Amino acid sequence: MELFTRQKLAENVSEHWNRTYAGSQWSHKRDIGDKLSSAPVLNPDIVREIIGNDSWTETRCNECDAKNIPVVQLGEEPDYESSTAYVCRECLEKAISLINRD
């Protein structure tokens, strides 16, 4: 179980980007990695400016589809066929209230 926020994703995006595009044949991917690595601080706005979109720092609840709010990762570590869900506080509270009814 792990908490994800846009800021936490931004702080780790350089490592994630460089792992994803290590040895890439596309020079623009390497250039983006260099810019991310050399940024003195990373936040979602800076990441968007460097990469050109919000996809690397976006969070989304798999239950209610709310975006860019803190979510908790539940289940297996993410992988191709993993059972993993990202759930916001409101949906977690609804789930707890369902359990408490019994």
For the chain of 102 residues, list the mean pLDDT of each consecutive stretch of 10: 97 94 88 95 96 96 97 94 96 96 80
- 3-state class of 15 per DSSP? helix
Contact 75, 82 (CB under 8 A): yes
Give the pLDDT confidence score for residue 70 in this predicted structure: 98
Q: What is d(CA 87, CA 73) in angstroms, rounded to the nearest whole number?
A: 7
The structure's pTM equals 0.86
φ, ψ of residue 71 in degrees (nearest 5): -135, 155
Give the pLDDT confidence score for residue 24 in this predicted structure: 83
Chain Cα centroid distance, residue 38: 20
Q: What is d(CA 52, CA 27) in angstroms, rounded to the nearest whole number?
A: 16
